[in-house]
């Protein structure tokens, strides 16, 4: 197949639309089900690059959950604790494969943002992973292959119209890429930067003790940022992104946005949230929405309106600001990556509130000394990579 006609472009009024290879080459994909659209393919191809590089960097199966050309979550296939299984709604699925764990993490870190995602998997999709995907609201998936039973499970979604793409894992794109904007063609070399342990060797803080897990988490943060719309930052803990901030004009706003997502991820593990008793039959998306309201400032409005009775069997106690802060103070050893330098120490101050201990960023700000000093104040370990990772 040399080209594939699409229903429309980014929006229904943008026609005609298609994807194709120059020089009459064959496309490196097969559409096994559904009719993926323009944005679906943008998510699929960006996500595939992300998980492919995560697998190469860590040796572990990887997954990402994409929305609007940025990842909502990304992770590698480390085992899940009982608590994580519960907050990701997979505690009823029995034993999970490493790939299934990777997707459960990628989907579960920010479930609100992942609603209606496009999935990318580094490995052949197995049955355990397909069972998770089957019951989630999702637009489609790209993977290097599918186990026969897994493919049949996925084909049942959306009355047989779920978008399933198989990509040639050996496909290598041309070293020069092009993009048309306003009738004008842009050309640049592909960002082929390889991220490994050596990428983080320039530690500029007083504390220079980078653990093996921190190096893995730094790799996850940097590779995730490589495919996130800039400005972007990424909080990572134990093999998964827990807060991604994308497309913000101000880096401190980006750090706050992603930090709030990381905080919510940890608050969902608190005894108060784990103890919530939902009414029978309520769906996962409605539970996610209810939890988001419960741990946010809107819960008092929910109580006042009596909405809780439609969601919970028992009226939940208020989760006070003091209780939330006390719980968040237990979050430690978080890694923070940034696609460009931190211009001020205020980003570090915000990161500290979300348990950040390890930081990877390019460096190069005129206030690097202030940023380093702020890291030293909290005993953080910071690496200057020397390379920016903007993505547009």
* pLDDT tens per residue across all 392 residues of the chain: 789 999 999 999 999 999 998 877 899 999 999 999 999 999 999 999 999 999 999 999 999 999 999 999 999 999 999 999 999 999 999 999 999 999 999 999 999 999 999 999 999 999 999 999 999 999 999 999 999 999 999 999 999 999 999 999 999 999 999 999 999 999 999 999 989 878 999 999 999 999 999 999 999 999 999 999 999 999 999 999 999 999 999 999 999 999 999 999 999 999 999 999 999 988 888 889 889 988 987 666 666 566 677 888 888 888 999 999 999 999 999 999 999 999 989 999 999 999 999 999 999 999 999 999 999 999 999 999 999 999 99
Same domain? For 263 and 281 the reply is: no
Other C-beta atoms closer than 10 Å to the C-beta of 390 total 14
Q: Is 190 exposed, middle or buried (0-12, 13-18, 19+ CB in 10 A)?
A: exposed
Phi-psi region of 113 (alpha: psi -120 to 50; beta: other; left: phi over 0): alpha
Same domain? For 46 and 119 the reply is: yes
Residues 68, 158, 272, 324: which is the catalytic one? 68
Q: Note if 253 is an active site residue.
A: no
What is the predicted pLDDT for the residue at 335? 98
The residues facing 336 across adjacent strands are: 235, 359
Same domain? For 247 and 202 the reply is: yes
| Residue 391 maps to a domain | no
* 3-state SS class at 232: coil
Q: Note if 67 is an active site residue.
A: yes
| Residue 245 maps to a domain | yes
What is the predicted pLDDT for the residue at 22? 83
Residue 97, domain extent: 25-167
Q: Note if 391 is an active site residue.
A: no
Residues 52, 67, 215, 261: which is the catalytic one? 67
Same domain? For 240 and 373 the reply is: yes
Residues 40, 231, 264, 347: which is the catalytic one? 231
Same domain? For 76 and 138 the reply is: yes
Give dist(CA 58, CA 155) in Å, integer.
31
The residues facing 184 across adjacent strands are: 181
| Residue 17 maps to a domain | no
Same domain? For 248 and 126 the reply is: no
Residues 13, 22, 159, 392: which is the catalytic one? 392
| Residue 324 maps to a domain | no
E strands, the chain, in order? 3-6, 17-20, 29-33, 62-67, 70-76, 117-121, 138-143, 163-167, 176-181, 184-189, 233-237, 240-245, 334-338, 356-361, 381-384
User: DSSP assignment, residue 339?
Assistant: S
* 3-state SS class at 392: coil
* 3-state SS class at 275: coil
Give dist(CA 115, CA 203) in Å, integer.
38
Same domain? For 228 and 361 the reply is: yes
Instruction: Report the number of distinct structural domains present in the chain.
Output: 3
Other C-beta atoms closer than 10 Å to the C-beta of 137 total 13
Same domain? For 127 and 221 the reply is: no
Same domain? For 228 and 337 the reply is: yes
What is the predicted pLDDT for the residue at 303? 63
| Residue 180 maps to a domain | no
| Residue 14 maps to a domain | no
Same domain? For 235 and 354 the reply is: yes
What is the predicted pLDDT for the residue at 285? 87
Give dist(CA 130, CA 151) in Å, integer.
8
| Residue 347 maps to a domain | yes
Give dist(CA 10, CA 375) in Å, integer.
42
Same domain? For 140 and 282 the reply is: no
Please measure the distance between the N-terminal and C-terminal CA atoms of the chain and give it in whole angstroms: 28
Q: Which pair of structure tokens corresponds to residue 268?
A: 């969902």
CATH number for position 375? 3.40.140.20
Q: Note if 392 is an active site residue.
A: yes
Chain center to CA of 3: 30
With a threshold of 0.85, does the pTM exceed it?
yes
| Residue 19 maps to a domain | no
Q: Is 184 exposed, middle or buried (0-12, 13-18, 19+ CB in 10 A)?
A: exposed
Same domain? For 290 and 205 the reply is: no
* 3-state SS class at 150: helix
What is the predicted pLDDT for the residue at 162? 97
């Amino acid at each position: 197949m040399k080209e594939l006609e699409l229903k429309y472009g980014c929006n229904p009024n943008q026609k005609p639309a298609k994807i194709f290879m120059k020089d009459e080459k064959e496309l490196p994909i097969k559409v096994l089900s559904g009719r993926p659209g323009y944005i679906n393919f943008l998510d699929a191809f960006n996500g595939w690059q992300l998980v492919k590089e995560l697998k190469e960097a860590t040796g572990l199966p990887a997954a990402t959950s994409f929305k609007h050309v940025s990842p909502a979550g990304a992770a590698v296939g480390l085992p899940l604790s009982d608590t994580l299984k519960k907050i990701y709604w997979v505690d009823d699925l029995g034993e999970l494969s490493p790939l299934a764990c990777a997707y459960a993490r990628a989907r579960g870190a920010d479930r609100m943002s992942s609603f209606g995602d496009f999935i990318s998997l580094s490995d052949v999709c197995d049955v355990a992973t397909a069972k998770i995907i089957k019951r989630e609201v999702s637009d489609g998936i790209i993977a290097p292959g599918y186990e026969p039973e897994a493919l049949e499970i996925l084909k049942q979604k959306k009355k047989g119209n779920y978008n399933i793409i198989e990509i040639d894992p050996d496909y290598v794109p041309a070293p020069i890429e092009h993009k048309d904007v306003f009738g004008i063609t842009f050309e640049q070399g592909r960002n082929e930067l390889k991220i490994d342990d050596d990428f983080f060797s320039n530690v500029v803080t007083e504390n220079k003790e980078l653990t093996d897990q921190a190096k893995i988490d730094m790799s996850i943060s940097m590779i995730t940022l490589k495919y996130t719309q800039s400005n972007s930052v990424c909080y990572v803990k134990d093999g998964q992104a827990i807060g991604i901030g994308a497309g913000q004009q101000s880096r401190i706003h980006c750090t706050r946005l992603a930090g709030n997502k990381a905080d919510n991820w940890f608050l969902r593990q608190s005894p108060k949230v784990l103890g919530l008793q939902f009414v029978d039959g309520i769906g996962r998306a409605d539970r996610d929405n209810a939890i988001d309201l419960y741990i946010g400032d809107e819960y008092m409005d929910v109580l006042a309106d009596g909405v809780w009775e439609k969601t919970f069997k028992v009226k939940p106690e208020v989760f006070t600001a003091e209780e939330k802060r006390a719980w968040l103070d237990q979050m430690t050893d978080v890694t923070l990556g940034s696609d460009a330098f931190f211009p001020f120490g205020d980003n570090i101050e915000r990161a500290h509130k979300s348990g950040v201990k390890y930081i990877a960023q390019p460096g190069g700000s005129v206030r690097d000394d202030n940023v380093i000093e702020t890291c030293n104040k909290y005993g953080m370990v910071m690496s200057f990579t020397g390379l920016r990772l903007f993505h547009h």
